[in-house]
Structure 1
């Protein structure tokens, strides 16, 4: 059974040590960087989540920057550890995360961004209904995608 769990004293080191495959390293921040961002960049109210299959930690996600006026939120990180890639965890966890967001916040739009060079990720997100806005996120130079809920 897939589960989203909050990062805590017992699991943060394990989450920090997860890594994508070497050819994906340029496409996402490390989990160590993400956990630091969640801890210290508090204006965005980041919620870092550990992704588990039963008791096995397989990935990480981070959600935040909720805007009550526009009813939007960022799905800022989603990664599956290199040892668990190719097992459909990405699809299964993305659906779980989207459901969690819709249940937890009053939202109309979910926003994410992706590196232009990471070509396969666009069709992955589009299969869930995300649209490529062709706009560039000024914070990181990535292409913004949105999902209207």
Structure 2
């Protein structure tokens, strides 16, 4: 299984909009189309297609400037429902964290998600994110500290 990230472009954005999450995830995550539109107005957001064996199977996006908690935020990671449960999300997340580690003065990476989203909780726990009790609206924010 070859997994890589590809910057969002005029060639792949529509296919990313066609990706779907599972029914139980729909209450936790907006559509990719909303995230893609957001990236056109907030130019510091970096959207990517997730490619597995040559096919677009997911979408992710992070911010290239620091925000709340003095960290770089992950805005989105999703894998199409047909490709979930195969480890693609974890590998894509690791690739994203590697790209984010190249940003200036990285000490923290942060992601917010609904506390009931067990899939997100399990993924980010495995990737070394820690819950310090930070909350933003209905979401909890977990932090990955980067060693210098």
Provide the rounded CA distance (Å) in 2 between the counterparts of 1:106 and 1:57: 31
> Which residue does the alignment assign to 2:12?
11
Provide the rounded CA distance (Å) in 1 between the counterparts of 2:145 and 2:126: 13
> Which residue does the alignment assign to 2:21?
20
| Runs of 4+ with >4 A deviation | none
Count of aligned residue pairs for this structure pair:
144
Q: How does 1:45-56 map to 2 (within 5 A)?
A: 45-56=44-55
> Are residue 94 (structure 1) and residue 104 (structure 2) matched?
no
> Are residue 143 (structure 1) and residue 140 (structure 2) matched?
yes
Shift of 1:136: 1.2
Q: TM-score, normalised by structure 2?
A: 0.89
Provide the rounded CA distance (Å) in 2 between the counterparts of 1:52 and 1:120: 20
CA contact 2:60–2:76 (8 Å) conserved in 1: yes
What secondary structure sits across from 2:89 in the alignment?
Answer: helix
Shift of 1:29: 1.1
Unmatched 5+ stretches in structure 2: none
Unmatched 5+ stretches in structure 1: none
CA contact 1:71–1:106 (8 Å) conserved in 2: no
> Which residue does the alignment assign to 1:30?
31
Provide the rounded CA distance (Å) in 2 between the counterparts of 1:35 and 1:74: 16
Provide the rounded CA distance (Å) in 1 between the counterparts of 2:13 and 2:115: 30
Provide the rounded CA distance (Å) in 2 between the counterparts of 1:82 and 1:112: 21
Q: TM-score, normalised by structure 1?
A: 0.89
Q: Deviations over 1:76-101 (max 9, x none)?
A: 10100101001111111111111111
Provide the rounded CA distance (Å) in 2 between the counterparts of 1:90 and 1:67: 24
CA contact 1:46–1:63 (8 Å) conserved in 2: yes
